[in-house]
Copies of this chain bind each other. A is one copy, B any other.
Amino acid sequence: MVKKYKVVFLDSYGVLKNHEGLIDGVPQTIEYLRSLGIVIKILTNDASRSRLQQVELFNSLGLNGLSTSDIITSGMLARLFLEDKRIKGKIGYLGTENAADYILHIDRDSVPVSAINLEDCDDIAAFVFLDDEGFDWNVDINKTINLLRMKNIPVVVANSDKLYPVSPRDVAVGTGGIAKLVENILNRKFIHFGKPDSQMFMFAFNQLLATADYRKHEILMVGDTLHTDILGGNKFGLDTALVLTGNTIESSVDSLVTATGIIPDYICKSIVR
């Protein structure tokens, strides 16, 4: 059925790879799509790695031939937002140094929340939830809440995913889950980046339009999660395919589609033929 499309947007985790590495057969499938002349873009809710680091990771796993422009991450959109906004002052953050490096290094200072002095924080002009790692949850979540109670500044969430899988059995709270806790406590709404929001789709679509004339119905979005990949793809006007190699398992897919009203155009076991 993929022959109907000129472009395929792919989620990363749960579609191309899982906790063990690449899903079996994925490199061959990508090769086949390329042989049909189908353009491929990877749309991933991830702020922990830069696009270059993503490409290197895929190479190391055995999926070659990707260029940085093939990968659109939520962290990248957060970075673009902060650049466009031309924030004057330091940017506070919760997350790893690596994420701070590539997202916030825009000729200005950034500072982890652990290093912020709440008695003297006039120079903090924005705040970013970058990652669920790289800080002490017991201490730094409360400190973030108290900082944001004092300072009414733009707050950006660089990955809106509430949870992510870490093994076939286990999940972990993601950046979006921690941000949601803080929003809930403060009764405020932050600026979230990532699927299902339209911006990631629009960014990828505009990239395509810069190379040739495409229509939305010529694009297929493939993902493993109804609430991000499929909801976002549907809303943006793309056809959508749900695969069962990640968050959504075969035994509950029908009841989930009925319960949520989020309806993929196709449901497939995996992207591998």
Interface residues of A (CB under 8 A from B): 80-81, 84-86, 118, 136-138, 141-142, 145-146, 148-150, 152-155, 162-163, 169-173, 177, 180-181, 184-191, 197-199, 202, 206, 215-217, 231, 234-237, 252, 255, 257-263
Contacts and interface: CB of A to CB of B under 8 A. Distances in A.
A266 to B, nearest CB: 15
Contacts of A199: 198, 202, 236
Contacts of A86: 217
B255 A188 contact: no
Q: Interface majority SS on A: helix, strand, loop or mixed?
A: helix
A153 B77 CA distance: 31
A180 B184 contact: yes
Contact of A202 (B137, B145, B198, B257): B198
Contacts of A190: 261
Contacts of A180: 181, 184
A170 B141 contact: no
A47 B158 CA distance: 33
Contact of A154 (B81, B148, B234, B252): B234
B84 A217 contact: yes
